[in-house]
Structure 1
């Protein structure tokens, strides 16, 4: 097989509310599982400020009160991905691959390592010496975490994915124990790079690296085109 003969549908989206993006992922997973959708899909986007709690997450990992978060207008959402608590916000690139691991001939470990490799390669384009950590998933610069991974799998189809700190404000990470680890610091490409980090450039780099690491082509599709393909109602307000 030609290394890039396989295509994934690709939606390059703007800032999307977390719950709206989650609803979209679930609709795609359902369509992929029941055969209504035969292609894998990748969503690329950013979120407005939100904390998410994975299966191992608990409110005890918040270092501030819920009233404080309400004042800051940052919701907390419980979800089904792996991992603990994390923060998403503008300037953090999120990639959600909704893919059939069996058809890709990948184990879960293979898949996670490829997501890490994507982030490592993107960081390298900005001359950031990111690396893996022997104890914890994600990509790191020294003891500080640059990118996180949390996935779920439903009947062999993945959803959720990676979050790479590009030019994100890191302050909200100070209000939690990221990933439930008290000794974890967070960093960003902007903090680690000697040059300005433009999120459009981070998006373009990430697209290239996903294609190279997974050996696929990304076929651009608008949100409305994907909605029509899924044969579902509008997934969120335009």
Structure 2
């Protein structure tokens, strides 16, 4: 079992280019697994973790409802945003500057073969990270992601999640609003959930800007601890 994870920070990168890159890494792991099964090759499978920030983009999961995008094609262009239907779970979400996006491309055979546990671990990593900033965040029953004030009229989501898995290999991941322009969420029904707000770390801390590199370091620390993994 290989518990080393190759870490890359891609900086600001186009969503489609990043998606294509994820697919390349994902396919390489699957190809190794198929070779091992067919030839009993005994090859170790790689694990990857990508940090990235995307230019303004809306993405719709495979089970999502297009009506949750509230913009026409021309309005998307006006706002400098793009739109993609993609192969993760979940509904519609927004990515943009000031948001930390994490894409773990893992062979869960190296860790544990349980997608429910995997999603709960991703949520726990964000919950633990935000606790270091004095925020009490939690899960919302039946709604993947990380929230504040669950069960109140003030419930708001700070981190969205959506993953794809095949043969225990994962891709896509989480999007944590740190210094994001929350106005872009007004153009969608986030995750298809009506009547619930979206927030960001700087908004909750009443700060103009939060150090994103510091947040990333905390995420990696908690990821490493929970998955008993080493970043290389």
Contact 1:29 1:154 in 2 (8 A): no
Structure 2 counterpart of 1:202, from 205, 215, 227: 215
2:36 aligns with: none
Alignment partner, residue 34 of structure 1:
31
Compute the displacement of 1:131 (Å).
0.8
Aligned residue number for residue 154 of structure 1: 166
Q: Which has the higher contact order (CA 8 A, sep 6+)?
A: 1
Deviates more, 1:76-85 or 1:103-112: 103-112
Aligned residue-pair number: 216
SS at match of 2:165: strand
CA contact (8 A) 2:3 2:110 kept: no
More off after superposition, 56-65 vs 104-113: 56-65
CA contact (8 A) 1:89 1:168 kept: yes
Q: Is the 8 A contact 1:31 1:37 kept in 2?
A: no
Post-superposition CA distance 1:40-75 (Å, at most 9, x none): 111111111100000122321122322111111201
Q: Which residue of 2 aligns with 1:15?
A: 12
RMSD: 1.6
1:95 deviates by: 0.7
The aligned counterpart of 1:24 is 21
What is the rounded CA distance, in whole Å, between the counterparts of 1:52 and 1:99 in structure 2?
Answer: 22
Q: How does 1:127-146 map to 2 (within 5 A)?
A: 127-142=134-149, 143-146=155-158
Instruction: Spell out the pairing of 1:1-238 with structure 2 (5 A cutoff).
Output: 6-35=3-32, 38-142=45-149, 143-195=155-207, 196-219=209-232
Q: Take 1:64 and 1:38, find their aligned partners in 2: how far apart are those partners?
A: 41
Match of 1:226 in 2: none
TM-score by length of 2: 0.89
Greater shift, 203-212 or 18-27, is seen at: 203-212
* Separation in 1, partners of 2:173, 2:97: 17
Q: Secondary structure at the match of 1:11?
A: strand
- Please tell me whether the aligned partners of residues 61 and 89 of structure 2 are also in contact (alpha carbons under 8 angstroms): yes
- Structure 2, unpaired ranges of 5+: 33-42, 150-154
> 1: CA distance between counterparts of 2:44 and 2:18?
18
Q: CA separation in 2, counterparts of 1:41 and 1:47? A: 18
The 10-residue stretch of structure 1 (101-110 or 78-87) with the greater mean CA deviation from structure 2: 101-110
CA distance in 1, matches of 2:226, 2:14: 28
Give the TM-score normalised by structure 1: 0.86
Rounded to whole Å, the distance in 2 between the matches of 1:167 and 1:32 is: 33
Say which SS state the counterpart of residue 48 (structure 2) adopts. Answer: strand
Deviates most, 57-66 or 127-136 = 57-66
